[in-house]
Amino acid sequence: MEAAYKETEQERKGWRRKSSLPSLPEVHQSMRVPKKAGFFRKLLAFVGPGYLVAVGYMDPGNWATDLAGGSQFGYTLLSVILISNLMAILLQALAGRLGIVTGRDLAQACRDHYSKPVSFVLWVLCELAIAACDLAEVIGAAIALNLLFGIPLIYGVILTSIDVLLVLMLQKRGFRYIEAMVISLIALITFCFVMELIFSRPDFAAVAAGFIPRTEIVTNPAMLYIALGILGATVMPHNLYLHSSIVQTRKIEPTIEGKREAIKFATIDSTVALMLALFVNAAILILSAAAFHSAGKEVAEIQDAYHLLGPMLGTGAASILFAVALLASGQNSTLTGTLAGQIVMEGFLNIRLSPWLRRLITRMIAIIPAVIVIGIYGESGATDLLILSQVILSLQLSFAVIPLVKFTSDRKKMGELVTPKWMIVLSWFVAILIAVLNAYLLYSTFFG
């Protein structure tokens, strides 16, 4: 215990104030980790947070870019999905490390490190990103309800608000119930796309070749634009805040050894979960390439993909499975988005609201603009809103990535468990690359 106390004091030297109330206090350290158990039993205790994070990497905002990439360029952009996912694995490992070592989530770390005006700006930017992401998820779920049941988009958007009640009900029973539901929906999405790949019968040799990067991606402006869109839609800023908080739901030993072990298992958890997200994103692009590119059809609209899949693959089940996966994806993403909203507000502002009130505010920020735009412009407005949401996410991303890399690279803040040097170099390279690519994407969007 003395070693743990000294380490805590050492870590505090890098912070201006003691850690305040933990994120999500109602579930903080609520799940016990067995002290004397084998590798797999301990790993099982840590499985969960990574899947909540992975949800953001397969949300409806990714679908349009994956569909466009596959229908226009075949399997070529699979390498971009792979590289984006590897970046995500690295950044989520850093987010988990920050939460486990310091007992702070990324929002709390920013509030401690930066001045009040800077923290306020970061909070506003993060809230915009969460609202934009939530918007994409709400619209995606509404489109799925429309395709499956014929429910008008405007009513579908309103129906998605029930997830507030669902999260509250599950969280009262324990955080494990939320994790179980999210993992179940991910399993449903994975099953749907396994079946889609069977129906579409892709050229697996071409698929394998697609994971090898080509210079054509950079030299072809149209291909580069879609590639940057895939990157912007893949790495989600709010997931970094979310992960740094929910890893603290596990009650670990407050020693160097205990934290090091927790980092190892949390990293395995998030890496495996994100490999599932890689499969889903790759499957969407492969499906689009096999069904549409081979037939010479360019498809970027989710609705068009749904209507064309059945006739082109020769089975109506293909369209139904596509819409079911979209609905599961949208609903899953709204669950984690509402949690991220609570974490960000509490972390940056140290304001404690009732969970139901915070989630209601988060939902209204997304639902109100969606209802207004769909009511005025119809389905075409919903698509434009989806695209705008991804641009906003791209704009905010570096404001989350750079502080995360900065904090986890600082020995004063992290103590003995500071990020290894090779990982620091790689992290800064990724942070700078993301900033440059997203700046180019924004420039192309508005001035290109």
> d(Cα 276, Cα 124) in Å, to the nearest integer?
31
> d(Cα 417, Cα 420) in Å, to the nearest integer?
8
Q: What is the pLDDT of residue 13?
A: 67
Q: What is the pLDDT of residue 386?
A: 65
* Phi, psi values for residue 100, rounded to 5°: -70, -45
Q: What is the pLDDT of residue 191?
A: 95
The answer to whether 366 touches 333, Cβ cutoff 8 Å, is no
> d(Cα 163, Cα 363) in Å, to the nearest integer?
9
Q: Which residues contact 267 (CB under 8 A, 6 or more apart)?
A: 93, 96, 97
> d(Cα 181, Cα 33) in Å, to the nearest integer?
21
Q: What is the pLDDT of residue 42?
A: 92
pTM tops 0.75:
yes
Q: Which residues contact 67 (CB under 8 A, 6 or more apart)?
A: 284, 285, 288, 299, 300, 301, 302, 305
Each residue's pLDDT, cut to its tens digit, for the chain (448 residues) gives: 334 434 455 455 688 877 767 877 878 888 888 888 889 999 999 999 999 999 888 877 778 788 888 999 999 999 999 999 999 999 999 999 999 999 999 999 999 999 999 999 998 888 887 777 777 777 888 889 989 999 988 888 878 777 666 666 766 777 888 889 899 999 999 999 999 999 999 999 999 999 999 989 888 888 887 887 777 667 778 889 999 999 999 999 989 999 999 999 999 999 999 999 999 999 999 999 999 998 888 886 788 888 888 888 888 898 999 999 999 888 888 778 778 888 888 888 887 677 667 667 766 766 777 677 667 766 666 666 666 666 677 678 889 999 999 999 999 999 999 999 999 999 999 999 888 877 776 677 667 6
In DSSP terms, which residues pair with 31 in a beta bridge?
Answer: 250
> d(Cα 221, Cα 33) in Å, to the nearest integer?
50
